[in-house]
């Protein structure tokens, strides 16, 4: 009997709500890079639902890349590439430029603050050279410096107790950092369990070309 693949219950719960937003904002065709793909549950679900897009999963953890590769083989989806070793803090990323979208789910609150800006900078690097492209983030956020729910405040406290460098990020601060890298916030969608889907689009001219 084949070994059971690692799975995330949270990914199973949130993959459908996330897909509903991705279906709305992603281009009809193109290349999508997923950062911090984890178990691969999300990328395989999205790829099956949106077969005209080519999906590139990635994760810095070799065990997670192995799980993604196993799921990819089992699903036999032609529009999912083998996972790449991408650590947002190591630039340049080993990704060919001209990506149409970058998707990052539930990462920035379980990483040091520097990873947030590294994600924004790296996304700006690889998104389409013609000025097209978007970055999709999903997870819990503070808004105007405040938690949006008591459960998020408790989650933030738990994260920081385990690792002081982790924690729920403030959406306004993420938006400010994004602008430094030519990414302008275009959409905020409230999803179940007090999470947000946030879409940024390339807007280098508005950012004054700041990098």
Domains of the chain: 17-202 (3.40.50.150)
Kindly state the tokens that stand for 101: 């979208």
Q: How confident is the model at residue 205 (pLDDT cuts 50, 70, 90)?
A: low
CA angle 124, 65, 44 (to 5 degrees): 75
105 bridge partner residues = 138
Q: What pLDDT is stored for residue 101 in this prediction? A: 98
Angstrom CA distances, 46 to 18, 96, 168, stand at: 9, 21, 25
* Tens-place pLDDT, residues 82-139: 999 999 999 999 999 899 999 999 999 999 999 999 999 999 999 987 767 999 999 9
Structure confidence by residue, pLDDT tens digits, 144-172: 999 999 999 999 999 999 999 999 999 99
C-alpha closest to that of 196 among 105, 88, 102? 105
Tokens of 98: 């001209």
pLDDT computed for residue 209 by the predictor: 43
Average pLDDT of the chain to the nearest whole number: 94
Residue 210 pLDDT more than 50?
no
């Amino acid at each position: 009997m084949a070994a059971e693949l690692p799975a995330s219950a949270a990914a199973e719960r949130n993959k459908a709500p996330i897909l509903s937003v991705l279906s709305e904002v992603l281009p009809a065709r193109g290349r999508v890079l997923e950062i911090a793909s984890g178990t691969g549950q999300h990328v395989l679900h999205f790829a099956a639902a949106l077969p005209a897009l080519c999906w590139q999963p990635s994760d810095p953890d070799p065990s997670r890349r192995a799980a993604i590769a196993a799921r990819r083989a089992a699903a036999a989806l032609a529009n999912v590439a083998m996972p790449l070793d991408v650590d947002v803090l190591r630039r340049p990323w080993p990704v060919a430029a001209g990506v149409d979208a970058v998707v990052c789910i539930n990462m920035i609150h379980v990483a040091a603050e520097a990873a947030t800006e590294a994600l924004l900078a790296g996304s700006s690097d690889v998104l389409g050279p013609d000025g097209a492209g978007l970055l999709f983030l999903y997870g819990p956020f503070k808004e105007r410096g405040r938690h949006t729910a008591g459960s998020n405040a408790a989650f933030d406290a738990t994260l920081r107790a385990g690792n002081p460098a982790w924690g729920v990020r403030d959406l306004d601060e993420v938006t400010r950092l994004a602008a430094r890298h030519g990414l302008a916030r275009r959409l905020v969608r409230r999803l179940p369990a007090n999470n947000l889907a946030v879409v940024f689009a390339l807007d280098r001219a508005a950012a004054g070309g700041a990098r």
